[in-house]
Amino acid sequence: MAHPLIRIGAPLAVGAIAAVGAIVGATLSRERQRLELEPTARPLAVEGWWSSDASSSLAHAHPAVLIVDADTAQLVDSWDRRTRSRVAHPVVRRTPEWPAAGLLVVDAATGDLLTVVGARGDAGMPAI
């Protein structure tokens, strides 16, 4: 005959181990799904701090950006770091501070000028 504590303790221990296993399994599954996000369907027009996943104060302050042709004020591309995809409904708001030529990196929410890129592929530096 088994000891009464074993009759009570064994099912509780098995249940606790199963619960911990389920929690660990769910966590690993979510982490795997997060890491398996699809890359962009096409490369961005220009790459820089605005398109990286690395932490930076500028990237956190401006998570969604538009890349705009200064000559025509036409949208060239966009990127939202929060969703790792293009900006859903981009709206270009031209401001007087924009230069006359080049590609501009503009905050998608406010329209603030963040960077002027001389030509496609030129990394550009923040205009701060």
- The closest alpha carbon to 107, from 68, 73, 64, belongs to 64
pTM to 2 decimal places: 0.58
DSSP 51: G
Amino acid symbol at 72: T
Most confident by average pLDDT, 4-18, 38-52, 76-90? 76-90
Structure tokens given for 120: 């496609």
Q: How many domains does the chain have?
A: 2
CB atoms closer than 10 angstroms to residue 124: 20
Helix (H, G, I), strand (E, B) or coil at 28: helix
CB atoms closer than 10 angstroms to residue 76: 17
Q: Is residue 104 part of a domain?
A: yes
Q: Is residue 53 part of a domain?
A: yes
Co-location of 62 and 83 in the same domain: yes
Structural domain boundaries enclosing 32: 1-36
Calpha distance 109→103 (Å, rounded): 18
Residue 124 pLDDT grade (very low, low, confident, very high; cuts 50, 70, 90): very low
Co-location of 28 and 53 in the same domain: no
Predicted pLDDT of residue 101? 87
Lowest mean pLDDT among 21-30, 39-48, 64-73: 39-48
Which of the two residues, 4 and 94, has the higher pLDDT score? Answer: 94
